[in-house]
Amino acid sequence: MTNDTDPSRPLGFFKRLRAKLNQGPAWLTADLTELLPGRKIDAGILDDLETRLITADVGAEATRRILDELRKRVDRKELNDVDALLKALQDAMLDILKPVEKPLAIDRNIRPYVILVVGINGAGKTTTIGKLARRLLAEGHSVMLAAGDTFRAAAREQLEIWAERNQVPIVASQAGAEPAAVIFDGLNAARARGVDVLIADTAGRLHTQTHLMDELKKVKRVLARLDPGAPHEVLLVLDGTIGQNAVAQADEFHKGLGVTGLVVTKLDGTAKGGVVLAIAQKLKIPIRFVGVGEQSEDFGVFNAQEFVSALLKSGPDGAAA
């Protein structure tokens, strides 16, 4: 039996999530337990909670859904104390997040399984690729990388560092090369070597840059010439610190490329992890992974129950029940 308190062992991801997500008092439940004992759960308390949800970047649509459910339960006289309110809040959040709790599943009958990683500059695409490669290797898959970001020499160099660190092959070209051609070469190389998974990086771009989005569509078309099913996963990396802009980005990337999975990064750097709820409510795209730091151990599979517990600081190690 392992000992999670052993300082020589890295924390399990759930504990890392709880420790790093919205550091300090829970962003929604702070002060509630002190303010509410003996007080009836009424419209004023729900209005306060609504304000907290909005300021925590949960977004108007998800906030409305959560508050509608809580108000119904107040009307049915089901919320008689703070514990009942917090449990109902947790349940309402889980109703939004559970449907998007869909881990990435590599189909072993498809070789190579092609993952196209997209997102804007600074979202953490390269780091995500490195951590994902490490995870897939640990699961027994062979991996190859393709350096499709040919606009920034530093991007290729960073990916080469991750390839060396993980001891996986990489296909790269000179700066300014045609991204679609590099990724096409990567798919050919992965096929020739019998590699299980090809992870292709792409240049960071704003979702509003139409010509660059068109280039990503070209990458998809070129891959489909070799394998009509490729890419098998279009993985969008979102920076969790940018709030509602992340929702707008995801919406545009999804319209343009048909995003099949999300990674939400940098959740250790924001007091507004509620943006994950906004994304889930609006887009219904599977959330594959979340990141709460730079270390490989700070990257984990998205689990709705653990995420909500970390947000509310609830569960065995938290204040809320």
Quote the pLDDT of residue 43: 81
Burial letters for 110-131: b for 16+ Cβ neighbours within 10 Å, e otherwise?
ebbbbbbbbbbeebbbbbbbbb
18-100 and 113-302, same CATH topology: no
Quote the pLDDT of residue 9: 37
Of the candidate ranges 185-194, 243-252, 279-288, the one whose mean pLDDT is the lowest = 243-252
Distance CA 272, CA 66 (A): 17
Domain spans of the chain, in order of start: 18-100, 113-302
At 1-43, the pLDDT tens digits run: 334 434 333 457 878 887 777 555 555 655 555 555 556 787 8
Q: Is the pLDDT reported for residue 169 higher than 90?
A: yes
At 57-77, the pLDDT tens digits run: 899 999 999 999 999 998 888
Distance CA 201, CA 79 (A): 49
The CA–CA distances, whole Å, from 76 to 85, 156, 200 equal 13, 58, 52
Domain 113-302: state its class. Answer: alpha beta
Superfamily of domain 18-100: SRP54, nucleotide-binding domain (1.20.120.140)
Quote the pLDDT of residue 151: 79
Strand-pair partners of 291: 299
Cβ-Cβ contacts under 8 Å for 189 (sequence gap 6 or more): 144, 169, 171, 195
Quote the pLDDT of residue 152: 77
At 239-279, the pLDDT tens digits run: 988 888 899 999 989 999 999 999 999 888 655 678 899 99
Mean pLDDT of the chain: 85
Quote the pLDDT of residue 315: 47
- Give me Rg for the CA atoms of the chain: 21
Of the candidate ranges 4-18, 125-139, 168-182, 281-295, the one whose mean pLDDT is the lowest = 4-18
Q: Is the pLDDT reported for residue 236 higher than 90?
A: yes
Q: Can you give the pTM of this predicted structure?
A: 0.89
